[in-house]
Amino acid sequence: MEMTAAKLAELVKGDVVGDASVRIHTYAKIEEAGQGALTFLANPKYEHFVYNTNASAVLVRRDFMPEKDVKATLIKVDDPYATLADLLNLVSSSLVPEKKGVENPVFVADGVELPDDVYVGSFSYIGSGAVIGKNVKIYPQCYVGDNVVIKDNTTLYAGVKVYYGCEIGCNCVIHSGAVIGADGFGFAPKNGEYEKISQIGRVVVEDCVEIGANTTIDRATMGATVVRRGVKLDNLIQVAHNVEIGENTVIAAQTGIAGSTKIGRHNMIGGQVGFAGHITIGDGNKFGAQAGVHSNPGNDKTVIGYPAIDARQFMRQSAYLKRLGDLFDSVKELKKEVDELKNIKQNSL
C-alpha cells in the first residue's frame, strides 16, 4: 500500500501544502517517523516536532500555520487525530489477518451452534448452552462457560475467561486474561471464620464495550454486575460485584470499583483510582489518577486526591502544604513578638 500525498489528501478530503508527489507507505509517530511515513500533529505540545520530523507527510489542522520551514508535506484536515484513526483502521485490517473457522482441537459442548463465519482458536472451550453470535472471534485458549451469551461481531482475544451465565453484547473487544464473572467477594463472619456467600448473579456487558487485558469483572451476588453500552475499560481494572458502569464512561488502568457502586454516564476516570462501595456517582465527572472516591462529586466535576476533592481546591491545598514550614516559622515569630509586647505592657504598668 503506497500512495502519493496528493492521493492520500483526496482520500481524506484534505488540502496539500508542499510537495504533493511524495510517496507514503507507512505510519509512525512524529518523533520517530522516517522517509515514506505519514504522521500527524494534534496536540500543540508536539508542534516543535513538525519542524524536524523526517516524515514525508504530516496531517495537521486546517488552521495550522507553521512558524518555521517545514520539510514534510502538510495535509490539512478538520481533525488530524480522527483522520488518522480512520486511516489506522484501514491499515489495521490489512495488517491483522482475518481469522475464520475452527482450529482444532477445541472443546464445543454438544448442542452449541457455531455460525459459519465464526473463529474459534485452538484449545478454546465453549460450554453447554452457550450462544455464539455471527462473526464472533474467539482466539485460542478462551473459556466460555455454560450458558454464556456472546453477541455478534465481538472479539475475545487469547485466554479470556467468561464464567457461566454471563452475557457479552455486540461489537465488544475483550483482551487477553480478562476474567468476566468470577465470584464477587462476599463472606459472612461465622464463629470467627468467614463463610462464603454464594454469588448467584451474573455479569452483563452491553454493546460496544472494550475490556482491557487482565481486567476482572465479578458476577453479582444476586442480579447483575452491569457494564453499559460504549464503556471502555483499560487493563488490570477491578469491577466488584453488583457494580454498574454507565454508558460511555472511560476508565484507565488499575482502577478499582468496590461492591454495589453505581457509576454514571460519560465519566472519565484516571488510572489507579479507587471507588468505595455502595456509592452512586453522577455523570460527566473527571477523576484524577490515584483519587480515592468516597462520595458523589455531583455531575461534570473534576476531583482528585484522597479523599477526592475539587481539583482546584486540591491544587490550593498542595500549594499551602509546600508553605507549611514557613507558616510554622511565622507563628513562632509572632509568638515571640506578642510575648515581647506583653512584656513591655507589663513593665509599663
193 touches a second copy by CB under 8 A = yes
Say how far apart CA 286 and CA 269 lie, in whole Å: 6
What is the end-to-end Cα distance of the chain in Å, rounded? 97
Residues linked to residue 203 through DSSP beta bridges, in sequence order:
225
Catalytic position from the list 48, 175, 241, 278:
241
Pick one of 253, 283, 299, 302: the residue that binds a second copy (CB under 8 A): 253
Question: Which residue lies nearer to a second copy by CB, 67 or 97?
Answer: 97
Residue 273 is given by DSSP the state: -
- Of 214-243, binders to a second copy (CB under 8 A) are 214, 216, 218, 220-223, 230, 232, 234-236, 238, 240, 242
How many of the chain's residues bind a second copy (CB under 8 A)?
118
Say how far apart CA 291 and CA 306 lie, in whole Å: 6
Closest separation in Å from C-beta 39 to a second copy:
8
Closest separation in Å from C-beta 25 to a second copy:
13
DSSP H or E segment with residue 256: strand 256-257
Closest separation in Å from C-beta 245 to a second copy:
13
Kindly report the CA angle at 301 between 298 and 303, in degrees rounded to 5? 105
Residue 129: CB atoms within 10 Å: 15
Q: Are the CB atoms for 249 and 269 separated by under 8 Å? A: yes
45 touches a second copy by CB under 8 A = yes
Q: Are the CB atoms for 4 and 22 separated by under 8 Å? A: yes
Closest separation in Å from C-beta 1 to a second copy:
12
272 touches a second copy by CB under 8 A = yes
Per DSSP, the three-state class of 52 is coil
- Of 317-336, binders to a second copy (CB under 8 A) are 317-318, 320-325, 327-328, 330-331, 334-335
Pick one of 12, 28, 102, 131: the residue that binds a second copy (CB under 8 A): 28
Stretch that binds a second copy, among 11-19, 63-71, 130-138, 267-275 (CB under 8 A): 267-275
Closest separation in Å from C-beta 128 to a second copy:
7
Look up 278 and say whether it is catalytic: no
195 touches a second copy by CB under 8 A = yes
Q: Alpha helices of 35-182 — where are they, by DSSP H?
A: 47-50, 80-95
Residue 201: CB atoms within 10 Å: 21
- Of 47-76, binders to a second copy (CB under 8 A) are none
- Of 76-135, binders to a second copy (CB under 8 A) are 81-82, 84-85, 88-89, 91-92, 95-97, 103, 105, 107, 121-123, 125, 128
Residue 194, classified by CB atoms within 10 Å of its CB into exposed (0-12), middle (13-18) or buried (19+), is: exposed
- Known catalytic residues are 241
